[in-house]
Structure formats: C-alpha cells, structure tokens
Amino acid sequence: MNFGGTLRINKFACFILGFILFLIIYWRSGGATVTDKSDLVNLKHLLRAGIFAAERGGKKVVSQKNGELNVQSKGKTQEGANDPVTDADFASHCAMYYSLKNTFPKLSIVSEEHTGVAGCSEQEVIDLESTPEGHAVIDYMFDELVYIKDVTVWIDPLDATQEYTEGLYQYVTTMMCVAIKGVPVIGVIHYPFTPRTYWGWYTKRTSDNIPTVTHKEENKNQPTVVVSRSHPGKVTETAKDAFGEKTTVIPAAGAGYKVMTVVNGTYDIYLHTSVIKKWDLCAGDAIIKSVDGKMTTTKGDAIDYSPNEVKVTDGVLVTRYDHDYYLNKLPKVLAP
Ligand SMILES: *[C@@H]1O[C@H](CO)[C@@H](O)[C@H](O)[C@H]1NC(C)=O
C-alpha cells in the first residue's frame, strides 16, 4: 500500500474542502452587510399597511365631517384658488402617518400635513399578517424585500379638501404610495364615503375592483379630458387647442379621483397644466402604471418621487392608452 499517495490525496482533498469553506464564508459575509432585519422591508407588508392606513385616515375624515371643521387657509394656489386645511386633514394625517411610522420606525414618510392633534402619535401598530377586508388576493402574492433606505412613502391624508368643506364628498380620497428610488411602485387610493379602496402594485397586479378597459381607436379624435374644477378656464382651452374641437372637457376635483376616472376608463385623459404636489400624484401614478397606462409631465418626463422635491412644475398628463399620441399634440412649452 502506498501511504504517501493516500496522504497526498488527502492533502489535496483538504485543500479543496478548505477552499470551498472559505468561499462559503466569504459569500455569507458579503450578505452580512444586512446585519439588521429592520434594514429591509417587505413590499407586501407595505401594501397591506397602506390599505389599513388609508382606511384609518378615511374613518377620521368621515367622523369629522359633522363636527367643527375649523377651516383655515394655507394660502392660495397658483391659479388663485383657496387652499384650505381642516381639522379632518390633521386627524387623518395623524392616523395615517403614525400608523405607518409606529409599524415601520425606519420608514421615510412624506405627508401633505405636519401639524398634529392631541395624541397624534398614539396610533395602533398595524398587524402585517392580516389582510384588509376585500383584498384577500394579497395573500397569494409573493413577499418582496427591499432596502428600507430606498423607500419613500408619500401620503395625502385628505385629497380635495375644498370639496370636502363644500360637502362634495364623492371627490374625497386618502392616498398612500410607495416609491423605490423615486419610482412609484405601490399606490393605494381610498374613498372614505361610499367606502372602497383601489390599489396597484406595478409589475404585479391591481385590486380586483379595477375594471378591464378596452382600447378605442376612435377616441383619439374625440377624447374626453378631465381637468381641475377649481380653475378649468385655461386648461380647457389648452385641451381643445391640442386635441381638437371634438374634445369634451369635464371638470372634477381631487387628483386621486381624476386619475381613477382614467384608470377605470370613464375618461381618456387627465390633464393638469399648473403646479401640483407629489402627494397628489404618487398613488395614482403607481396605479395607472399597474394597468399599463402612463403618467408623465406635459413635457413627457417621468415624475421622480424621491423626498427632496415636492412640486411638479411642468403639468401632468395621464392616459390609459395612446399616451405618446396625446403628448405629441400638447404644445411643447405650456405657459405656466
Ligand atoms: C370610475 O371612477 C370614478 C371616480 O371614482 C367613479 O365616479 C366612477 O363611478 C367609476 N366608474 C366605474 C365604471 O368604475
């Protein structure tokens, strides 16, 4: 028997084994930059939490409607319309912001409101394993982990405050949106009166209550365009100039509401030609993308939902179909 040979083979085997062990340890430690599970967040959890938060905010909006609204003005919009805020905005902000913040302490959240009411931060932590009623389809979706530092959540605790104070409740929504590195990925829009919630998870699916909409080629020559009711004059003119005399312009309120009318095929286009804030847009942007529609500025640029800038100054065009066709018809430079 040749002991030397056996020894040589064992040496070689030991070397290989050691090398493999080294590779495994090296590879594992590469992954160990994530030392803390709380550096990651599960998007499926954020979707559930978004629905719960929007619905909690919505309950505040409804319960406050007959109380003292304490309407104050945040000044005027660019078109000179009043920009009101009420105690309902603040109550919903507290419910939405702190429901999320208490559940995900490391999450960066941008809200339209800041001022709170007494006990603002005392909101119940959301149970991430339970699914909001009517949305069981989420249980069948896969978990997806992302770095929490890449996530910005945008919330609008009460969209269409002006109409809320006028009792035009059909326009009122609460919204939550998840942007990853500035890209809107999950959007939640909740209607607190006649309560219902719509959501979209880009590249995955939407809530079951969003209808299928078929493309109609003939709409291109006679599109319906939804615009803001608080300053419809100029944008109506722009729409007719751009899309032709057969264009029908419908005034409505609430960016959330208006995007949803395009998502569900009621109207072909949502056009906005003045300054607008990103908490008004983010959720709708994620939802319209989830149904293969598009939201861009009137220059055709995608909107970046990183937390540093809250304003969109180049207007907004939202369509479910034929986005580039309509975009090319818009004047290249829209006067503000
Ligand atoms: C579409 O959305 C608008 C705004 O929420 C709503 O008023 C309308 O009833 C919806 N239509 C359909 C067909 O879902």
pLDDT in tens, 163-201: 999 999 999 999 999 999 999 999 999 999 999 999 999
Of 85, 68, 67, 63, the residue nearest 76 (C-alpha): 85
For the chain, the average pLDDT equals 91
| Contact present, 257 and 287 (Cβ < 8 Å) | no
What residue's CA is closest to ligand 1, atom 1? 261
| Contact present, 300 and 103 (Cβ < 8 Å) | no
**169 pocket-lining for ligand 1 (C-beta < 6 Å):** no
268 CA from centroid of ligand 1 (Å) = 13
The alpha carbon torsion through 191, 196, 200, 204 (nearest 10 deg) reads 170
Q: Are residues 134 and 230 in the same domain?
A: no
Q: Which residue has the higher pLDDT, 79 or 268?
A: 268
4 in a structural domain: no
**Sign for the pseudo-dihedral over CA of 50, 52, 53, 59:** positive
**197 pocket-lining for ligand 1 (C-beta < 6 Å):** no
266 CA from centroid of ligand 1 (Å) = 7
What residue's CA is closest to ligand 1, atom 12? 264
Q: Are residues 54 and 196 in the same domain?
A: yes
Q: Burial, 329: exposed, middle or buried (Cβ in 10 Å; 0-12, 13-18, 19+)?
A: middle
Select from 181, 206, 231 the last residue of a domain. 206
Predicted TM-score (pTM) of the model is 0.88
Given a cut of 90, whether residue 231 has pLDDT beyond it is no
| Contact present, 129 and 154 (Cβ < 8 Å) | no
Q: Are residues 191 and 289 in the same domain?
A: no
Task: Give the range of the structural domain holding residue 230, as residue numbers without chain letter.
Answer: 217-329
Select from 206, 236, 263 the last residue of a domain. 206
The phi and psi torsions of 102 (rounded to 5 degrees) equal -70, -25
Of 108, 105, 69, the residue nearest 86 (C-alpha): 69
93 in a structural domain: yes
Select from 174, 206, 238 the last residue of a domain. 206
Q: Are residues 190 and 226 in the same domain?
A: no
Q: Determine the pLDDT at residue 5.
A: 52
258 CA from centroid of ligand 1 (Å) = 9
**257 pocket-lining for ligand 1 (C-beta < 6 Å):** yes
Q: Are residues 111 and 92 in the same domain?
A: yes
**What are all long-range contacts of 61-69, with beta carbons under 8 Å and residues at least 24 apart?**
61/88, 61/91, 61/92, 61/157, 61/158, 61/164, 61/172, 61/174, 61/192, 62/192, 62/193, 64/88, 64/91, 65/164, 65/169, 69/165
In this structure, what CATH number is given to the domain that contains residue 226?
3.40.190.80
**102 pocket-lining for ligand 1 (C-beta < 6 Å):** no
Coil, helix or strand at residue 136: helix
- At 65-121, the pLDDT tens digits run 877 778 888 777 766 677 788 899 999 999 999 999 999 999 999 999 887 778 999
Residues 156, 285: Cα–Cα separation, whole Å: 14
28 in a structural domain: no
180 in a structural domain: yes
Q: Are residues 105 and 191 in the same domain?
A: yes
Q: What is the mean pLDDT of residues 284-311?
A: 97
212 in a structural domain: no
8 in a structural domain: no
Indicate the length of the chain as a whole number: 336
Tokens of 290: 């989830």
What residue's CA is closest to ligand 1, atom 6? 261
Coil, helix or strand at residue 208: coil
Of 210, 97, 95, 91, the residue nearest 161 (C-alpha): 91
Coil, helix or strand at residue 101: helix
In this structure, what CATH number is given to the domain that contains residue 85?
3.30.540.10
Q: Determine the pLDDT at residue 335.
A: 53
Q: Are residues 178 and 42 in the same domain?
A: yes
Residues 249, 225: Cα–Cα separation, whole Å: 5
Residue type, 169: Y
Q: Are residues 158 and 275 in the same domain?
A: no
166 in a structural domain: yes
Q: Are residues 196 and 238 in the same domain?
A: no
Q: Are residues 201 and 246 in the same domain?
A: no
**207 pocket-lining for ligand 1 (C-beta < 6 Å):** no
Q: How many structural domains are present in the chain?
A: 2
Q: Are residues 143 and 263 in the same domain?
A: no
What residue's CA is closest to ligand 1, atom 8? 261
Contacts of 49 (CB under 8 A, 6+ apart): 99, 100, 103, 104, 126, 128
Q: Are residues 179 and 131 in the same domain?
A: yes
Q: Percent of the chain at pLDDT above 90?
A: 76
Q: Which of 264, 268, 270 to mutate to test the pocket of ligand 1 (most atoms within 8 A of CB)?
A: 264
**236 pocket-lining for ligand 1 (C-beta < 6 Å):** no
Q: Which of 226, 260, 262, 263 to mutate to test the pocket of ligand 1 (most atoms within 8 A of CB)?
A: 260
**264 pocket-lining for ligand 1 (C-beta < 6 Å):** yes
CA distances from 231 to 82, 253, 330 (A): 11, 10, 19
> How far out from the chain centre does Cα 175 lie?
7
72 in a structural domain: yes
**Cα atoms in the Cβ-side hemisphere of radius 13 Å centred on 177:** 35
